[in-house]
Chain A
Amino acid sequence: MKTDDLILALSADAAPRGPPLRRRVALGLIFGALVSFAAFMSVIGPRPDFAGAAHTMRFDLKFVDTLAVLAPAFFLCLRLSRPEAAPGAMLAWLLAPVVILGAAVAMELAMVPSAQWGAKLVGSNSMHCLSVIPILSIPPLAALIFALREGAPRYPALTGALAGAAAAGVAATIYASNCPDDSPLFVVTWYPIATGVVVLVGALAGRRWLAW
């Protein structure tokens, strides 16, 4: 087939159907988050003392941490879904959760006697954290990867990894309302492990499904 013939077929299909990529990916994230939230509410739900805990700084700080992962990862992932985009200076935004959590850990170490550090770090339900976050990440990660298939990322594995980080951010935000451990020492130990698993899955999914 000559190139001019192919161009005829392509031009007959000129008008795109469906929403633009950005909206598609944003809808994917929202849809996945709603599915995870519904599953969370019907199976475990927030912890019993949720209302009281919401007035404590350590509890609220967990949400700042998880949202500080979710927002930059999502926007960076969105940007990298375009073929001409390079990560560039935006990568620095991923340091936001590191800085916030680092400051929280420093304050915790200053306020809590060293004899309690070990107990705070181990917490009471690390296995719960390590399983619930990855499970709640599945719907948003799947929805993000599905929506991103319409994209043209120059770095498919990196884009997938960022989708994984955003999905883990969603899952950790939901899970934090159930998690009884509020110490930054617990958060800095277990949440990143759970997130890392999802980032890795996202990178593999990106390499497999986002290459074009």
Chain B
Amino acid sequence: MTRETSEAREEVWAALMRSALAGDEQAYRRLLSEIGRVVRPLIRGAFARARLSDADTEDVVQETLLAIHLKRQTWDQSQRVTPWINAIARHKAIDAMRRRGARRVEPIEDFEAVIAAPEQQDPHTRSDVERLMEMLTPRARDIVRSISLEEQTITATAARLGMTEVAVRVALHRALKSLAGAWKAAQS
């Protein structure tokens, strides 16, 4: 990838991240999808080099996206966003490889040099996230399901559950936080 395009990516991602932090859900959704597309081949490549099974790389992609989400306030807006995203992806990938018993954890390439993989059907059916969701309270699980799998808005979910929108947002945030906690607990 040429310098110009990685520079262009930095600019686009930084702008999207700023909008996301200001509450723009569309921008955030686009940013997370793009990050997923760039991080996926990186993780797949690292797993292949360590001779690990390809089967659960998507779980690592999801864990990375969740970490980016929960730690988004650690991005210093005066700094570049791609090295920050890169550091989180690297941390999660190396962690995942160690857990799976990789002997040699080679440094993951910087994605400055990676071209996004084309959009492909994600074959995931029964993922870690889904297993971990069983640990949430029924109400929290219902909210996450409603917004993710059923593609309902916060407003619609709030109306259906007889909750305020703020309460749904708070519950969703807590649920995502406990998912990350459950993920970490499941690993150790």
A binds B: yes
Interface residues of A (CB under 8 A from B): 1-18, 20-22, 81-84, 150-152, 154, 211-212
Q: Mark B20-37, 1 if CB is under 8 A from A, else 0.
A: 111111101100110010
Which residues of chain A are near B66, meaning CB under 8 Å? Answer: 6, 10
Question: When the two chains form their complex, are residues A13 and B58 in contact, meaning their CB atoms are under 8 A apart?
Answer: no
Q: Does B67 contact A (CB under 8 A)?
A: yes
Q: Which 4 A-B pairs have the closest CB atoms?
A: A15-B23, A84-B87, A11-B29, A83-B87
Question: When the two chains form their complex, are residues B86 and A84 in contact, meaning their CB atoms are under 8 A apart?
Answer: yes
Question: When the two chains form their complex, are residues A83 and B33 in contact, meaning their CB atoms are under 8 A apart?
Answer: no
Interface size counted on chain B using CB atoms at 8 A:
52
Please report the C-alpha to C-alpha distance between residue A154 and residue B29 in the assembled complex, in whole angstroms: 26
Write the nearest CB–CB distance from B117 to chain A, whole angstroms.
Answer: 12
The number of A-B residue pairs with CB atoms under 8 Å apart is 117
Given contacts A21-B73, A154-B91, contact A8 B36 (CB under 8 A): no
Which residues of chain A are near B91, meaning CB under 8 Å? Answer: 83, 152, 154, 212
Please report the C-alpha to C-alpha distance between residue A81 and residue B84 in the assembled complex, in whole angstroms: 12
Q: Mark B138-166, 1 if CB is under 8 A from A, else 0.
A: 00000010011101011000000000000
Given contacts A10-B65, A12-B154, contact A21 B172 (CB under 8 A): no
Which residues of chain B are near A4, meaning CB under 8 Å? Answer: 33, 122
Question: CB < 8 Å: which of B67, B154, B184 contacts A152?
Answer: B67
Question: CB < 8 Å: which of B26, B74, B151 contacts A151?
Answer: B74
Given contacts A3-B36, A3-B122, contact A152 B21 (CB under 8 A): no
Residue of B28, B86, B154, B180 with most chain A CB atoms under a 10 A cut-off: B28
Given contacts A83-B74, A84-B83, contact A13 B176 (CB under 8 A): yes
Please report the C-alpha to C-alpha distance between residue A16 and residue B69 in the assembled complex, in whole angstroms: 9
Which residues of chain B are near A16, meaning CB under 8 Å? Answer: 21, 72-73
Q: Does B5 contact A (CB under 8 A)?
A: no
Write the nearest CB–CB distance from A10 to chain B, whole angstroms.
Answer: 5
Question: When the two chains form their complex, are residues B32 and A11 in contact, meaning their CB atoms are under 8 A apart?
Answer: yes
Question: When the two chains form their complex, are residues B73 and A9 in contact, meaning their CB atoms are under 8 A apart?
Answer: no
Q: Does B124 contact A (CB under 8 A)?
A: yes
Question: When the two chains form their complex, are residues B148 and A1 in contact, meaning their CB atoms are under 8 A apart?
Answer: yes
Q: Does B98 contact A (CB under 8 A)?
A: no
Interface residues in B90-132 by Cβ distance below 8 A to A read 91, 122, 124, 127, 129-130
